[in-house]
Chains A and B, each alone.
Chain A
Amino acid sequence: MALTRHHPKAVIAAGCSDLVAQFREGLEPEVLISLQRIKELREISNEAGILRIGSLVSHTEGSRSPEILSSVPALAAAWGSIATVRIRYRGTLGGNLLARRYRYEMPVILSALGAQMQFEGGDIAVLPVSSLWDRDSLWDRTLGNVGILTAVTVDTASLLWFGYERSMRPLSTVSLAVRKNTAGLTVSAVCGSEYRQPFVLSHTAEATDIAELDPAFVGEVLAAQLPDEAGDYAGSIDYRRHLVGVLCRRLLAEATGTQRKG
């Protein structure tokens, strides 16, 4: 961590599968700090309802982790479904998030889960994954030194259900989580696509049981929140709203145990 303070412009290297591409795109760092040998960054734990995943955990390790399989099995399944065998062994959670490429899926998957990123050695300590595309945040690299992403945490205590739909990738992916809180049940959905940043959608229903949610209604309410800029080269905004509505409905039907329709 001292190294990042000493070299605030240093580029951090994890699995390097994206960095090699960045080099080919013209990145020429003066200092490269490799995290490969920091064992602590590979740890996964679940204590008091907080799942903590080290940033250096690879896609394969994450999808097979007993802690994740026992606390949020659908997260393990979603994680294991991305990329290809070679990339899954090499690519890491931290690299997938901090490459900040629209088409990468862990930001979509983890934003719906309300995940928080933990940093050390920079100007910030904690940021929600959903802030990766905040326009006015430090993500504009000239504004601040984020240091090293050490881990991602997920509150599993209030989580009732989670699911991820990537069958329509690259047009649209959707991850969806249902949580219990004092206001009722909050459904958070995140829509990802190849060419646009992920968009976070949310709906709170006065309900106590997940079976009380109406998949068609909630799906429509969520999809309607997609802003116009979510339309891209692959699909107009009308089409994307329709598609996201269908995917949300499908996930909610699974969550509520309702027979899938249409």
Chain B
Amino acid sequence: MSLESPESGQETFTHNVEFELNGSPERHCVPTSATVLDLLRNSCGKQGVRASCERSVCGACTVLVDDLPVAACSTFAFDIEGARVETVEGLAAQDGTLSAQQQAFSECGGFQCGFCTSGMLMLTTGLLRQNPQPNREEIRDWISSNTCRCTGYEMILESVERAAELAGAKQQDQASE
């Protein structure tokens, strides 16, 4: 269910929202009741932001807003005015090179059907920005806010640990260059 479409005959109040999406400026006019999920999927074409529970429970719609993980389904679009928003589409480099997180999930089998993966990748990105070397407990705390119904969490936990290793190695390479 989307909050965006009013009942027929109802007046819709609209709102202009300007924000940065994966590094590029965006400007959209949306109903005041539109969520970030509505905006990203319907107006910006970012289908990597999944819609499932729409109750901020499952984590499928996780995006980063100013580096923090947010449930796009339960955040009003007007609230991201002036913010920096990141979705899974912004993770890989322009030439298609996978980010450390994507590489790690692929190496460790951190996904099966892939439905939860975009949310898991965004949570991993947010976590590693705050703490480049998280321990198992911290990883579990973050990942537990995203439901996976088919992989089994062990491989996801290993993927996040591997992502931390890969990101650390990448940073060291960059520093020594």
List residues of A whose CB falls within 8 A of some B CB.
Answer: 13, 16-17, 19-21, 23-24, 32, 34, 36, 84-87, 89-90
The verdict on A86 contacting B79 (CB below 8 Å), with A17-B56, A21-B74 known, is no
Stretch at the interface among B63-71, B99-107, B149-157, B159-167: B63-71
Would you list the 8 A-B pairs with minimal beta carbon distance, nearest first? A84-B145, A20-B74, A89-B68, A85-B145, A86-B69, A85-B142, A86-B71, A86-B145
Q: Are B78 and A34 in contact (CB under 8 A)?
A: yes
State the CA gap A21–B74 with chains docked (Å): 7
With A17-B56, A84-B144, A84-B145 in contact, is A89–B70 under 8 Å at CB? Answer: yes
In the assembled complex, which residues on chain A have CB atoms less than 8 Å from the CB atom of B35?
Answer: 20
Flag whether B137 is at the interface (Cβ < 8 A). no
A19 and B76 CA atoms in complex are apart in Å by: 9
Chain A residues in 8 Å Cβ range of B74: 16-17, 20-21
Residues 42 to 84 of chain B near chain A (Cβ within 8 Å)? 54-56, 59, 62, 68-71, 73-76, 78-79
A-binding residues in B (CB < 8 A): 1, 3, 32-33, 35, 54-56, 59, 62, 68-71, 73-76, 78-79, 123, 141-142, 144-145
Knowing that A17-B71, A85-B145 touch, tell me 16 more A-B residue pairs with CB under 8 angstroms: A16-B74, A19-B76, A20-B56, A20-B74, A20-B75, A21-B55, A21-B74, A32-B32, A34-B78, A85-B123, A86-B70, A86-B71, A89-B68, A89-B70, A90-B68, A90-B75
Measured between C-beta atoms, what is the minimum distance from A14 to chain B in Å? Answer: 10
Contacts of B144 in A (CB 8 A): 84
Interface-centre pick from B62, B71, B74, B75 (highest chain A CB count, 10 A): B74
Q: Which residue of A lies closest to B141 (CB)?
A: A85
Instruction: Choose among A13, A23, A34 the residue that contacts B3 (Cβ–Cβ < 8 A).
Output: A23
Distance of A239 from chain B, by nearest CB (Å) = 27
> B7 to chain A: closest CB distance in Å?
10
Q: From residue A103, how far is it (CB to closest CB) to chain B in Å?
A: 13
- Bound-complex Cα distance A17 to B36 (A): 12
User: Are B75 and A24 interface neighbours, CB within 8 A?
Assistant: no
B69's contact among A24, A36, A85, by CB below 8 Å, is which? A85
- Enumerate 23 A-B pairs (CB-CB under 8 Å) in ascending A order: A13-B76, A16-B74, A17-B56, A17-B74, A20-B73, A20-B74, A20-B75, A21-B55, A24-B1, A24-B3, A24-B54, A24-B55, A34-B79, A85-B69, A85-B123, A86-B56, A86-B69, A86-B70, A86-B145, A89-B68, A89-B70, A90-B68, A90-B71
The smallest C-beta distance from A260 to any residue of chain B, in angstroms, reads 23
B58 smallest CB distance to A (angstroms): 11
Nearest chain A CB to B137 CB, angstrom units: 13
Q: Which residues of B contact A85 (CB under 8 A)?
A: 69, 123, 141-142, 145
Assembled-state Cα–Cα distance A87/B1 (Å): 21
Chain A residue contacts of B123, Cβ below 8 A: 85
Complex Cα spacing A87 to B75, Å: 11
For B70, list chain A residues within 8 Å (CB): 86, 89-90
Which residue in chain A gives the minimum CB-CB distance to B57?
A: A84
CB-defined contacts of A84 to chain B, threshold 8 Å: 144-145
Q: Which residue of B lies closest to A84 (CB)?
A: B145
A155 to chain B, nearest CB (A): 32
Closest to A88 in B: B145
B1 to chain A: which residues have CB within 8 Å? Answer: 24
A16 in contact with B75 given A24-B54, A84-B145 (CB within 8 Å): yes
Task: Please indicate the chain A residues that have their CB under 8 angstroms from the CB of B76 in the complex.
Answer: 13, 16, 19-20
- Cβ distance A94 to chain B, nearest Cβ, rounded Å: 15
CB contact between A16 and one of B62, B79, B141, B145 (< 8 Å): that residue: B79
| CA–CA, A130 and B32, complex, Å | 34
